[in-house]
Amino acid sequence: MPEGPEIRLAADKLAKVLSGRVPEQLDLLLPGLERHAAKLQGKRILSVQPRSKAMLIHFDGGHWLYSHNQLYGRWYVVRAGKAPRTQRSLRVAIHMRDHSAFLYSASDIEVLNAAQLQQHPYLSKLGPDLLDPQTTRDIVRQQAQDARFARRRLSSLLLDQAFFAGLGNYLRSEILYLAALSHDATLRDLDAQAPTRLADIALDVTLQAYRCRGVTNDLERVARLKAEGYTYSQYRHHVFAREGLDCWTCGATISRVDVSGRAIFFCPDCQPSLRGR
């Protein structure tokens, strides 16, 4: 599933071709959605905004096209008259004079008014979005110190969008590694400075992943590895998807554990368990 950085990158691409313009044609093809098309036809698109792992396209007149990619959804932007090469199912098509935007395979798509937007069961429960320009470091630190989350295992907490919005599986492993924290710890297990450290690293890693297109590894190391011929998948991360390889920092073998069907990658030396594995 795309994580916050990938959704914001997709929003940036959509905004370049959609924002400030009136679509020449708008097709809502998900069954049951087509009846809402009249609310958006002929209306100027005011903005494209990511929220956590969702996308909001704001139309003049007070409506938003909400979509959540879930596992298989994907936006494409192509030149007008072209179509993406894909076997996915088309859900939304927005045609401008020069470009078209297509949403394929997503099944969670709605047209919302302002009241529905505020009450939406996904959006209304989100914690601070780490890639929202309005999210300050102090806001993120306060969230990490909130007593509501103190008893939660970090393995599940970092995937809870009510804690930090936009995190997913690869960011979870990378944040825990850089914070030198074990996935089986809870916030109340840690020293007094750890929640602040966790918050700062979560914000910094997520911002880097957005700015560097998914790269979370140390950037000086990345430059060296690229010069040595390493591929993107080989130099991209500290620990994620590197099971059986050496830790870049200490040389220990990267391990993997599955928690609730989701893989966590970690260095057993850099991230010692508080409970034993």
**Letter for the amino acid at 124?**
S
Positive/negative CA dihedral, 261, 212, 271, 224: positive
In whole angstroms, what is the distance from residue 184 CA to residue 148 CA? 18
CA 226 to chain centre: 25
Which of these is catalytic: 3, 6, 51, 91?
Answer: 3
By three-state DSSP, how is residue 208 classified? helix
In whole angstroms, what is the distance from residue 55 CA to residue 4 CA? 10
Residue 161 CB: number of other CB atoms within 10 A?
Answer: 20
By three-state DSSP, how is residue 186 classified? strand
- How many residues would you count in the chain? 277
Active site (annotated) includes residue 3: yes
Active site (annotated) includes residue 43: no
Closest CA to 53 of 72, 32, 68, 71: 68
Active site (annotated) includes residue 2: yes
Which of these is catalytic: 13, 262, 268, 272?
Answer: 262
Which of these is catalytic: 6, 8, 51, 53?
Answer: 53
Active site (annotated) includes residue 226: no
**Could you tell me the two tokens for 52?**
């956590």
- In which residue are the tokens 């139309």 written? 59
Q: Where are the alpha helices (DSSP H) in 21-91?
A: none
Strand partners, 68: 54, 108
By three-state DSSP, how is residue 48 classified? strand
Catalytic residues: 2-3, 53, 262
